[in-house]
Chains A and B, each alone.
Chain A
Amino acid sequence: MSGPRVAAVAVGASAGALESLSVILPELPEDYPLPVLVVVHLPPDRKSLMASLLRERCRIAVKEAEDKERIVGGMVYLAPPDYHLMVEEDRRLSLSSEEPVRYSRPSIDVLFETAAEAYGPGLVGIVLSGANSDGARGLRAICDAGGVGLVQSPDQALASAMPHAALLACPEAAAMSLGEIAKHLLGIVGPS
């Protein structure tokens, strides 16, 4: 495969998140070489079940992101409820309790914009099912930095508003089924 080497994957999902993530993430092997950074809109309850639900279904390790943690491959990092998740230049994670961005904390845009800055062309950004427009600006930033944008096909998403908004902001992003997205994620790291 041509193009710059991919160093990380960033995913944003809202309404229908668990359903979409439960199709994609279990496809990734335990030794998947890339880190997968995930923002899901959740109620601001501090004890979220999302990490444990996904952990049960995945071979790749899943954890809630910790502040100033070094990002490593083979790990899915979930933004904790009520905190923004950001990527630092030195590729550590930061959490922030700044104001919600367009009503969301964590905000997909905030993750995508900071990850685009840290990884440039080495980033794949994915917008999944959701009933708002978070992630659209962020996906634009990822594509502007030379990264790749993927969007769950709106007609297959439980909630299509977020994929629609992402494709509108970022027409060069590819609309795909969840299965195709999983296949793409396996393809970019080459045969194992």
Chain B
Amino acid sequence: MLDSTEDIEFRLLLEAILRKYHYDFRGYSTASLKRRLRQARERFGCRSFSTLQDRVLHDPTVFPDLLSYLTVQVSEFFRDPDYFRAIREHVVPYLRTYPSLKIWVAGCSAGEEVYSLAILLREEGLEDRTMIYGTDINPEALRRAEAGVYEMDRIPLFTENHRRSGGKSSLSDYYTAAYGGAVFDKSLRRRAVFSDHSLAADEVFAEVQLVSCRNVLIYFDRELQDRAVGLFKDSLSRKGFLGIGGKESLHFSLHAEAFEEFVRDERIYQKRGDR
């Protein structure tokens, strides 16, 4: 079957983005990516992906905006409270046995999960021995993560999530209200580093004891999922932990054998000792 004109243009646009800006979206799930690019096409008032490609190549102000369509940035503090409860109850006891800890939040978006883990680790008395790496490909998201300011109207949800995750303190201890936003305490990112890293193009950068990468793999095709999980495997120390999204699994992964289920319902895996 011949590709439709739109499919040809779609692939060419991804190729143009790769060559010009070194962002590789070729391994992303097509259905979702195409949907978002169509929204972008509409937003930029372009008739076709070819027209959008022309804009992206010749107007350098377009790409940063386009990037926010290409990456999905939907997150919350303590999103899926049961996941954080499982980290607290089942993973933290293992983490306590390490004199120093490194945690990688891959695809950290605007930092919600990094701050959530920082709060959890403070509550558990592990903060001082831990470094948290929050990585993402979107510089604007990383800037927001660095700033740690979130819309005030999201705070009730975050507070409820934190409570349901087994939080031992009050979320309000960690932010102050200013300019209509909730500004999170700078001390929470004393042990956090936000940086640019692509699961599609970059390599392992540290040995870590916990990787949390939730609702990121679903945007990748199977080959790219395998690449990403391979990075997690190589990055994790022996018996390290991997947490993925509630509806993600390593079931179809090339690296499934390297992990065993640790908290099955919360999709927390442990790297086998012999890998």
Contact = CB atoms under 8 A, between A and B. Distances in A.
Which of the listed residues A66, A89, A98 has the most CB atoms from chain B within 10 Å of its own CB? Answer: A98
B156 to A, nearest CB: 16
Interface stretch (B111-119, B176-184, B190-198, B247-255): B247-255
- Secondary structure dominating the interface of B: loop
A125 interface: no
Nearest to A113: B35
Chain A's interface size range is 20 to 34
A167 B32 CA distance: 27
A110 B38 CA distance: 13
Interface in A35-81: 46, 66-69, 80
Contacts of B246: 46
B31 A68 contact: no
A88 B35 contact: no
A97 interface: yes
Interface in A74-133: 80, 83-84, 86-89, 94-99, 110, 113-114, 117-118
Contacts of B218: 67, 83, 94-97
Contact of B31 (A46, A94, A99): A94
Contact of A114 (B35, B72, B221, B248): B35
Contacts, number: 61
A94 B32 contact: yes
Given A83-B247, A97-B72, A98-B72, A110 B35 contact: yes
Contacts of B245: 97
Contacts of B9: none
Contacts of A114: 31, 35
B251 A89 contact: no
Contacts of B48: none
Contact of B222 (A68, A83, A87): A68
A110 B36 CA distance: 11
B247 A95 contact: yes
A37 to B, nearest CB: 12
Interface of B: 29-32, 35-36, 72, 74, 80, 82, 215, 217-219, 221-222, 225, 245-249, 251-252
Interface of A: 46, 66-69, 80, 83-84, 86-89, 94-99, 110, 113-114, 117-118
6 contacts: A67-B247, A86-B32, A88-B30, A94-B218, A95-B247, A117-B31
